Structure 1
Amino acid sequence: MSGKEKKLDLPKIPEGLTALDVPDYEWADEHEISDSIIEDCGIHNQSAYKPCFDRVVFQNVVFRGTSLRKAEFTDVRFVNCDLSNIDLSEVILHRVSFHNCKLLGMDITGSTLRNVWFEQCYADYAVLRFTNAKGVKFEKTSLAKADLSNMTIAQFYMKEANIDQAQFSQTKLGGVDISSCEFNAIGAGLEDLRRCIISPAQAITFAAHFGLVVDDGTN
């Protein structure tokens, strides 16, 4: 559910982070990276199970063919990164922000999100199904054709997001304000949309979606 927007807890990033040279770094299962900045590089064809990232900044990093399943990210910021098609299924994101990132096809199925902010990102075709999300905001972010089905949500905010053809089946949107969002159609049933906040123009779109006829009084 959602109501009046509550302020998210943003990543707590200390000063004086240590620069980490990724090409010389050996990725390993259950390894921890903390108090570091990783920038201006590519992370390609890497796989690690249950790695832990604490107080880390990723800036201008391109991920390719990367899998970080069941990873834990706490106080992490991604800036100008490309995480397209990354496998982040069953991860834990706590106080994490994504700014101007490319997240096309990113898979975070079955994950836990707490205080996560997506700002000016491209997350078309992203997969968030079966995700437990509390304190999550999509701001000026594209989620066209993304899969947000079967999510459990609270304090869930969407501001000026593109959700055209996004799938919300079995995700209860009661109290969620999508009135500033852009879409021609979304995948959701009547029960999913009950008490969802929409604009008058969107009401006409939904009426057509459910086969209703709106009488404007001119006939």
Structure 2
Amino acid sequence: MRALLKRDLILAFRAGGGFGLGIAFFLIVVVLVPFSVGPESGLLTKIAPGVLWLGALLACLLSLDRILALDWEDGTLDLMATAPLPLEAVVTVKALAHWMTTGVPLVVAAPLFGVLLNLPPQGFVWLVVSLALGTPALSVIGTFGAALTVGLKRGGLLLSLLILPLYVPTLIFGAELARRGAEGQAVSTPLLMLAGISFGVIALLPFASALVLRVNLR
């Protein structure tokens, strides 16, 4: 599993799907928002948690189609299906590699971008907590979508259409957790809901992804 994780990390950076692309897109979203809604600091403070979470979510979408596409094209996925390592472990490792190359850089960069949107100081910690807790779910759900669309021509657009509705609960509770933290309100409810979504997705979706892959590889 370590060798597979190392391989996927190297391929992610070589294929241009590493942290640079996601961070650049995230920055573009954050920079464009003040131009569209105006430079009023009060308004930016109010919408900052939602904008930052939406930017992170969209940045995660950019590299989802690469999770399994490269392995499908060169036949590596067929070899993985017959290897001693279960497919459930394979898709888990691939989701972890996606999170490490996309989710972790977004978590690190979010407080810096929060400054551009006038996020209150007390909101930085909860923004990082919400993204650290929610981005693993985005990667696991994205891996499930990649398994559904692997091998399809122009599957990237279909992947986005399939995955975006599944991202909505994570977006709602992640943005709500960041908003309540920024406003000094109680955060227990969105925190527990976001944690439940993430842990539930991590526990169940690798099995669904492996099942879909077995069907597609027949």
Q: Same fold (TM over 0.5)?
A: no
More helix by share: 2
TM-score range, shorter chain: under 0.3
* Larger RCO of the pair (alpha carbons < 8 Å, separation 6+): 2
TM-score scaled by structure 1? 0.23
Which has a greater percent of strand? Answer: 1
TM-score, length basis structure 2:
0.23
